[in-house]
Structure 1
Amino acid sequence: MTLSTLPVAPEPTSSGTTTCADIPAWYRTSADLTRQAVARAARDDYPAWLSHVRPAADCTRPVRLAGILATVEAATGRLLAARSTADMPDGVIYKPCGNRRASVCPACSKRYQNDAYQVVRTGLIGGKGVPEQVGAHPAVFPTFTAPSFGEVHTRAVRRHTCARRKDCDCRPEPCHARRDLTVCPHGIRLACFARHDTDDRRLGTPLCLDCYDHDAQVVWNHAAGELWRRTTIAITRRIHARSRQLGIPDVPIVTTSRGKTRIRWVPPVRLSFGKAAEMQRRGVAHFHAIIRLDGFDPDQPDAVLPPPPGLDAADLVDAIDHAAATVAFTTAAHPARPGGWPIAWGEQILTKVITVAGKGEVTDGQVAAYLAKYATKATEVTGHASSRLTDTTVDLYADPDGTHTERLIDACWRLGNFRHDPTPPARLTDQPLREPPPPAGFVTSWTCPTCGTGTRYRACPTCTAVDLDAPAEPDDAPVRRNPYARLRRWAHMLGFGGHFLTKSRRYSITFALLRDQRVEFRRAQSAGPEQIEPGATSTTLVVNFLEFVGAGWRTPADAMLATTSAAMAREHQSAARDYLTTLAA
C-alpha cells in the first residue's frame, strides 16, 4: 500500500535533497548534446541511473518527486525503515506524467489507450470481474453528430475500394459542386469543385467565415454533456415503455425515508452506457457510444444480469432513433442572444448492432479499438493545440477576424463573460454578478460543488463571471452564477469541457482497477522468487511523503538516453515475442 502526499503547488525540497534546478558542473561544461550524453554515459553511476529512470523512460515530461519513503508496521504503525530520495540518482523519483493526449506524450497516451481498450471491450465480452454472459446481451453502437452551423469543405467518398480506411486513397466527390454558383451576402461563392485529399488543410473550414455561426457552435460544444444526459434519460424511458408494452411485469423498489416506506414499481431492465467524444475537423464534438441492455433485480442492484426475454437490439435502435429526433432544449439567456441557443442533435444518426462472434456490422474488437483511439485525441485535428488559456495568452489564439479556430476561441472568450455587452438583460441588472474578492480577501481553500474547481476566492472564478463595473456586495449576499463562464475555462477545447471517454458505473471495470493490477504485478516481479499466498495481506505499509519539485528531464541528454534505452527495450521485447510466436507455430 502506498500513501502519497503531493501539494498542489511546488514547494522547496526537503532538507538534504538535491534540487532539480541545480545542474551539476559536469553538465555545464558540455554544451553539445552529444557530449552531454557521452559524459552522462561515462559516469560510474550511469547503470544505476538508467535502472532508476526505467519506469518513466518513455515519458516525454516525467514528474520529479522528492521526499522520504517510509516502511511502517501495519498493526502498530512502528517505523521499520526510511529512505530518502537524496540517496537516489538525481535526488528524485521519476514518475510518468500519465497524460492521455498523444500529441503531448505518446508513451503515456499509448498506455492510456490500451487501458481504454480493455475498459470498453470488457463491457462487451466480460472478464476481469465482469460476467462473461454480457457477451450475449444486446448491444448497439450509435453515433450522434452535431447539427450544421454553416457549410464547410468536406471529403465524401461514395464507394470505398481501399483495404483500410486509414490509408484511403479512393477518389472523392467534388466538395460543393453547384450549377447556380450561389453567392453569400458577403460576396463569397458558396461552391467548391475541388476533390480534397485527406490531409487538405481546407477540410472542416467554412466556405464563408462570416456566414458561419461560431457562437452557436461553441455553445453547442458547451452544452453537449447536458444533451447527452437528456438523451440517455429519453432512451431509458423509451425502453421502459417498450417493456410495459410487451407485458413484462415490473419489479418493486422499496425505499425508507424519515420512517416512511415507499414502493416504486419499475421495469426489470437497465441500460449501461459507454461513450467517446470525437472532435471533428470543423471543431465540433460528436459522440460514439455503446449502449448495452441489462436486466435489473432490486435484491441485487449491483449485479449485471441478462435482460428479460422479448427485448432485443431492434428495440435499442428504435429508442435511440426516437431520442435523437425528439431530445432538444434551449440554453439560458445571454446578452448576445436573449432567447438562448437551441441545442439538439444533427440529422446524421447511425446505429449499428455489435456482435461478438467476429461477424456482423461491427464487432466488439472494432468498437473497442475505435473508442480507445479517440480517447487519446483532442483538438489536434482542427490544427489547434494549446494548454488552458488566460488573459495574457488568449490573444495568441483568438481573433474575431482570423481563421476558423481563432474565431471559435474568440467566441468562447467573448461569450464566457457578460461584461463585454454594455446592455445586459434586465434579469441580470436586477442583481449583478459578484466579483471575486481581491487576493487580500483569500479564504481557506475549498472546492466548488458545481464545477469542481479548487480556489481560495469566496466565489468560484469559473462559475461566476467578473463584472468590474458592478457595485460591491456584502459577503452574505447570494452568488449569481454565469452559466456560460465555463466557456472561458474550456476555450482551448473550443468550448467542449467534457471528458473524451466516459461510461456508466456498471458498464465495465475502471481505470483504477487496471492501474492497481499493474502495480501489483510489478511489485510481485520485484519482490523476488518467493511466492505470496493468494488473498494474503501484507503486514507492512509503504508510506511515501513526496512533494513535487519539477517536471521534465533535467537535460536534453538525459531525455535522449532515457528514450533511447526505452526504445531498445521495446525492440527487444518485440523480437522476443516474435521468436516465441515462431516457436509456437
Structure 2
Amino acid sequence: MTVSTLSAVPEATASGTAPYAEPDLALRLDWLSRSTDVGRQAVARAARPDFEAWLSHVRPASACMRPIRLAGTSLTVDAATGRVLVTVDTAGMPDGVIYKPCGNRRETVCPACSKRYQRDAYHVVRTGLVGGRGVPEDVAQHPAVFPTFTAPSFGQVHTRVVRRHTCARRRDCDCRAEPCHARRDLTVCPHGTRLLCFVRHDNDDARLGSPLCLDCYDHDAQVVWNLQAGELWRRTTIAINRQLRRLVATRGIPHVPTVSVNGRVRTVPPVRLSFGKAAEMQRRGVVHFHAIVRLDGIDPTDPTAVVPPPAGIDADDLKAIIDRVARTVGFTTEPHPAQPAGWQIGWGDQVLTKVITVAGRGEVTDAQVASYLAKYATKSTEVTGATAPRLTDGTVNLYADGDGTHTERLIEACWQLGQPREWRRLRRWAHMLGFGGHFLTKSRRYSITFALLRNTRVAFRRTQTSGPEQTTPAEQPTTLVVNFLQFVGAGWHTTADALLANTSAAMAREHQQTACEYLATIAA
C-alpha cells in the first residue's frame, strides 16, 4: 500500500502553493512495470506517453508468440552515388529494438506465424495449378495428379478405419469406426502379447499409432526409413521421368531440339515433371508424402518457360506411371554395425493417386489439394506426442528410453544407430524421429516462391505506412536499405506486453474480418 506524503493542512510558502511530495509518475510506472502482477504491468505500459507509438511499432510482430528483438542501425543509401540518405537508430525506437516475427511454421510453437506460413503455402501450391503471379494461366489445362506415398509397415499398430464416411467434415468425423484388430484366433506374439484389439477408437484416442507390442515393433527400421525418405523420393522422380521418356518413344512423340549453354544443339524429350510435395507425420511416427505432379512441355527457344505438354499423354498415363513406379522403386542402405546387410527402403502398399482438375470434373479439385498440402506444411511431430527440441548428449535422456513409450523408443533408436560417423544425421534429427527433410518442397518451375510472397507483403506494408508513390517507376530514385542489426533477444519483455500486443492484433483481425464480410454482403 502506498501512503501519501501530502500534508493534511496546506502550508503557505513563498510562492503561495502547498507542498507536493508525491512520487513522480515515472517512478510509479517503473515500480508497476517491475511488478510480478500482469495487470500492474499492463497498466504501467498503457499509462506511458509513448504507448500509441509502441503499439504501432510492434504491430508487425504483435500476434507472434516469441518475436525476435533486433538492435542496431538501418541506412537508406542511394544506389547510384552511395550517399547515405537516411540513418535510423533503434535506440530512438520504443524499447530500443525492432520486433520481428519469429516466422516459425509449426502451429504448436507460434499459431500466428504458422497461419501466415500456411496461407503462403496455399498460394504457392495453388498457383502451380491455376497460374497467376507470373505463372501462365494455361497450367490449369496441364495434366496433374495427386499421389500419396506411404511408408511400409514396421509392426501392427492401433488404428481407426471407417469404411464409409457419412460426416460432412472429415476433421470433426464422428462416424462409427471398425474394430481395431478383430481376430477370432487369439494370436500371441513371441513376447506374450495378444495381437488383437476390439476397440472402435475415437479420433482423439491416445492409443492410435502405438504398436500392439512395443517389443515386436521394428523401431530401428522405421527411423532409418524416415532418414532415407528424401532419397527415396529423389529416386522416385528419376524413375517417373524415365518411364515418361519410354512412353514418349513408344508413342512416337518427337523430341524437341534445344540449344545448350555451350551453344550445341541437342534433342530432349518433349515432357518434364513439375511437382510440389508436403510431408505428413503419421501417428505411428513415420512420414508419408502428399504430392502434386504436373506434366509440362519443353519450349525449344526458352527451356525455362512453362508450356503445355504435347498431345498424346494425359493424366491417366501419368497416374499409371506413378502407381507402377511406387511398386518397384527402392534401394538398400549402406551397411551399419547393427544391420550389416543394410535396410531395404521402399514405399508401402497403400499408394493412392488421384487426378486433379480445375473445372471440377476430376477426382479432386485444385483448391482441395492446395488446402490439404498447406495444412500439413505447419504440422510436425506433435501428432505422435513428441515435442522435443534438438537433442544433445545432456538432454537426450529426458526424451529417449529403450524400454519406454513408442516415441521414446524411436528417439532412443535414432541416438543409438547414430553413433557411427556416417550415420550422425540420425542423432541430428532424433527430435524429428529421424526425418530431416523439409515439410514442403517444390521443383523450380512448378510455381512461385515464398520469397516472392514475402517481398510483395513488404511492399504492401511500405505503401500503407508511407502512402502511394506519386511518381512513375522510371522517376523513382533507386535506393538500398542496409541494415546493421544484431540479435539481442527473443520474446516480449513482459507478459503484459505480450497480452497487449496480442489483444491489439486480435482486434485488428476482427476488424478486418468484419470489413471483409461487409464487402462480401455488398458484392452479393
Q: Same fold (TM over 0.5)?
A: yes
- Whether contact under 8 Å (2:33, 2:45) holds in the other structure is no
The alignment status of 1:546 with 2:496, answered yes or no, reads no
Query: What's the counterpart of residue 212 of structure 1?
Result: 217
Query: What's the counterpart of residue 9 of structure 1?
Result: none
The 1:511/1:30 distance shift into structure 2, 3 A limit, reads same
Query: What's the counterpart of residue 205 of structure 2?
Result: 200
Query: What's the counterpart of residue 458 of structure 1?
Result: none
Structure 2 runs not aligned, ≥5 long: 1-28
The 1:512/1:131 distance shift into structure 2, 3 A limit, reads same
For 2:451, what is the secondary structure of its paired residue?
helix
Query: What's the counterpart of residue 61 of structure 2?
Result: 56
Pick aligned residue for 2:285 from 283, 286, 290: 283
Alpha-carbon offset, residue 273 of structure 1: 1.1
Amino acid of the structure 1 residue aligned with 2:464: Q
- Whether contact under 8 Å (2:33, 2:44) holds in the other structure is no
Query: What's the counterpart of residue 145 of structure 2?
Result: 140
The 1:532/1:364 distance shift into structure 2, 3 A limit, reads farther
**2: distance between equivalents of 1:78 and 1:27?**
45
Identity %: 74
**1: distance between equivalents of 2:254 and 2:334?**
40
For 2:504, what is the secondary structure of its paired residue?
helix
Alpha-carbon offset, residue 70 of structure 1: 1.5
The 1:67/1:391 distance shift into structure 2, 3 A limit, reads same
Alpha-carbon offset, residue 537 of structure 1: 4.9
The alignment status of 1:409 with 2:348, answered yes or no, reads no
Query: What's the counterpart of residue 347 of structure 1?
Result: 349
**Superposition pairs of residues 437-516 of structure 1, within 5 angstroms:** 465=421, 482=422, 484-516=423-455
The 1:27/1:264 distance shift into structure 2, 3 A limit, reads farther
Per-residue displacement from partner, 1:50-83 (whole Å, max 9, x unpaired)?
Answer: 1110010000000000001112222111122212
Per-residue displacement from partner, 1:476-507 (whole Å, max 9, x unpaired)?
Answer: xxxxxx1x210100000000000000000000
**Superposition pairs of residues 312-351 of structure 1, within 5 angstroms:** 312-351=314-353
Query: What's the counterpart of residue 247 of structure 1?
Result: 252
For 2:291, what is the secondary structure of its paired residue?
strand
Alpha-carbon offset, residue 27 of structure 1: 5.1
Pick aligned residue for 2:457 from 514, 518, 521: 518
Alpha-carbon offset, residue 39 of structure 1: 1.4
Query: What's the counterpart of residue 163 of structure 1?
Result: 168
The alignment status of 1:75 with 2:80, answered yes or no, reads yes
The alignment status of 1:580 with 2:519, answered yes or no, reads yes
Alpha-carbon offset, residue 298 of structure 1: 3.5
**1: distance between equivalents of 2:153 and 2:65?**
38
Query: What's the counterpart of residue 556 of structure 1?
Result: 495
For 2:514, what is the secondary structure of its paired residue?
helix
For 1:386, what is the secondary structure of its paired residue?
coil
For 1:81, what is the secondary structure of its paired residue?
strand
Pick aligned residue for 2:296 from 262, 272, 294: 294
The 1:93/1:243 distance shift into structure 2, 3 A limit, reads same
- Whether contact under 8 Å (2:107, 2:114) holds in the other structure is yes
Query: What's the counterpart of residue 372 of structure 1?
Result: 374
Alpha-carbon offset, residue 522 of structure 1: 1.1
Query: What's the counterpart of residue 14 of structure 1?
Result: none
Query: What's the counterpart of residue 566 of structure 1?
Result: 505
Alpha-carbon offset, residue 360 of structure 1: 2.8
**2: distance between equivalents of 1:26 and 1:77?**
47
**1: distance between equivalents of 2:83 and 2:56?**
30
Query: What's the counterpart of residue 8 of structure 2?
Result: none
- Whether contact under 8 Å (2:285, 2:433) holds in the other structure is yes
- TM-score of the pair, normalised by structure 2: 0.92
For 1:278, what is the secondary structure of its paired residue?
strand
**1: distance between equivalents of 2:164 and 2:469?**
60
The 1:262/1:339 distance shift into structure 2, 3 A limit, reads farther
Alpha-carbon offset, residue 535 of structure 1: 5.8
Query: What's the counterpart of residue 86 of structure 1?
Result: 91
The 1:395/1:516 distance shift into structure 2, 3 A limit, reads same
**1: distance between equivalents of 2:285 and 2:303?**
40
Pick aligned residue for 1:116 from 103, 121, 137: 121
Alpha-carbon offset, residue 250 of structure 1: 1.4
Amino acid of the structure 1 residue aligned with 2:479: T
Query: What's the counterpart of residue 310 of structure 1?
Result: 312
For 2:324, what is the secondary structure of its paired residue?
helix
**2: distance between equivalents of 1:133 and 1:71?**
41
Alpha carbon RMSD of aligned pairs, Å? 1.4
**2: distance between equivalents of 1:497 and 1:93?**
32
The 1:41/1:145 distance shift into structure 2, 3 A limit, reads same
The 1:35/1:307 distance shift into structure 2, 3 A limit, reads same
Alpha-carbon offset, residue 530 of structure 1: 4.1
- Whether contact under 8 Å (2:32, 2:43) holds in the other structure is no
- TM-score of the pair, normalised by structure 1: 0.83
Matched positions, count: 496
Alpha-carbon offset, residue 531 of structure 1: 2.9
**2: distance between equivalents of 1:329 and 1:150?**
21
Structure 1 runs not aligned, ≥5 long: 1-23, 419-464, 466-481
- Whether contact under 8 Å (2:148, 2:352) holds in the other structure is yes
Amino acid of the structure 2 residue aligned with 1:127: G
